[in-house]
């Protein structure tokens, strides 16, 4: 039978064993808790990853849908713009065609009006007489005229001579340097068709013929007629300029400068105004200093 001392030793050993076993058991429990926590965190992480993946997939699908709608709207907008541009271009083309047809009709109307005017002038106008003329009353050639000869009817254009043909014939004479024929042709045009759109051109070419022929005084007079008789014609700026050139050639620098300056003031945006400025500068450089 164990003794008291042995019993004490046994109790002490058991206490030591229990003391040593208790921390090990506690550590094992903490490890198991940590492992459980880690597994829980892993599961939560996996769930979060799945949620993120799902959210990314939904976001990607949404972005694709938005991009698809944007592309569709952009395509619709481009098509709408293209249709509008096509409609505008078509309208512009139609408008140009209408304008061209209007211009053609205006040209035809002007041409017909000129032809009618030419036919009217080609019909001789005979004076009305109350009694027949006695042929015996006419003076024979070579005898003393006791009775005045009857007045001759005014000269008229040849039948079929249209205004445009007359103008082109005179223009051909100008190109060929036939100054006298050119002046006569355009003079005939003005006497018969001064109310046409080319009336100012005919008068201007008369001035050009005189200037090319060195007859500057007559040229100045012709250019003055362009300015006074055709104030709304498109040849007026040219007439101011060429009048200034003719006056400059005649040594009348003050009058030439005045003509150039009038052109610059009246038609500041015209090409001839810039040329007139150059001529004024030239005249100013040549002006003697006081």
Residues 134-182: tens digit of each pLDDT: 433 333 344 443 433 343 344 455 555 689 999 999 999 999 999 999 9
Encoded tokens for 117: 């005017």
Taken as a whole, the chain contains a residue count of 290
pLDDT for 25-45, tens place per residue? 777 888 888 888 898 899 898
- Other Cβ atoms less than 10 A from the Cβ of 180: the count is 10
Task: Give the pLDDT score at 10.
Answer: 65
Q: What is the pTM of this model?
A: 0.52
Task: Give the pLDDT score at 4.
Answer: 59
Task: Give the pLDDT score at 141.
Answer: 41
pLDDT-based confidence at 13, cuts 50/70/90? low
Task: Give the pLDDT score at 128.
Answer: 45
pLDDT for 174-212, tens place per residue? 999 999 999 999 999 999 998 889 999 999 999 999 999
pLDDT-based confidence at 262, cuts 50/70/90? very high
Asked if pLDDT for residue 284 goes beyond 70, the answer is yes
Q: CA triplet 258, 207, 115: central angle to 5 degrees? A: 130
Higher pLDDT, 99 or 11: 99
Q: What is the mean pLDDT of residues 65-73?
A: 88
Secondary structure in 3-state letters for the chain: CCCHHHHHHHHHHHHHHHHHHHHHHHHHHHHHHHHHHHHHHHHHHHHHHHHHHHHHHHHHHHHHHHHHHHHHHHHHHHHHHHHHHHHHHHHHHHHHHHHHHHHHHHHHHHHHHHHHHHHHHHCCCCCCCCCCCCHHHCCCCCCCCCCCCCCCCCCCCCCCCCHHHHHHHHHHHHHCCCHHHHHHHHHHHHHHHCCCCCHHHHHHHHHHHHHHCCCHHHHHHHHHHHHHHCCCCCCHHHHHHHHHHHHHHCCCHHHHHHHHHHHHHHCCCCHHHHHHHHHHHHHHHHCCCC
pLDDT for 84-130, tens place per residue? 888 888 887 777 777 777 876 765 676 666 666 655 655 554 444 44
Task: Give the pLDDT score at 148.
Answer: 38
């Amino acid at each position: 039978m164990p003794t008291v001392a042995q019993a004490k030793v046994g109790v002490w050993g058991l206490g030591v064993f229990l003391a040593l076993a208790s921390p090990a058991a506690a550590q094992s429990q903490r490890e198991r808790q940590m492992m459980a926590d880690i597994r829980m965190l892993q599961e939560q992480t996996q769930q979060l990853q799945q949620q993120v993946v799902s959210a990314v997939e939904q976001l990607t699908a949404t972005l694709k849908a938005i991009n698809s709608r944007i592309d569709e709207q952009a395509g619709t907008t481009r098509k709408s713009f293209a249709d509008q541009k096509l409609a505008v271009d078509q309208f512009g083309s139609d408008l140009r065609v209408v304008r061209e047809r209007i211009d053609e009709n205006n040209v035809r109307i002007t041409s017909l009006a000129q032809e009618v005017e030419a036919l009217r002038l080609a019909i001789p106008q005979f004076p009305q007489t109350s009694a027949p003329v006695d042929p015996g009353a006419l003076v024979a050639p070579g005898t003393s005229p006791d009775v005045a000869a009857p007045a001759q009817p005014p000269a008229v254009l040849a039948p079929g001579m249209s205004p445009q043909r007359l103008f082109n014939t005179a223009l051909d004479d100008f190109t060929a340097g036939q100054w006298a024929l050119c002046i006569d042709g355009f003079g005939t045009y003005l006497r018969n068709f001064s109310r046409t759109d080319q009336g100012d051109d005919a008068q201007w070419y008369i001035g050009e013929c005189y200037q090319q022929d060195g007859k500057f005084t007559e040229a100045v007079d012709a250019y003055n007629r362009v300015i006074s008789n055709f104030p709304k014609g498109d040849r007026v700026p040219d007439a101011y300029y060429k009048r200034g050139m003719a006056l400059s050639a005649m040594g009348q620098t003050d009058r030439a400068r005045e003509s150039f300056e009038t052109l610059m003031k009246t038609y500041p945006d015209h090409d001839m105004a810039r040329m007139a400025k150059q001529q004024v500068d030239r005249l100013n450089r040549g002006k003697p200093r006081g």
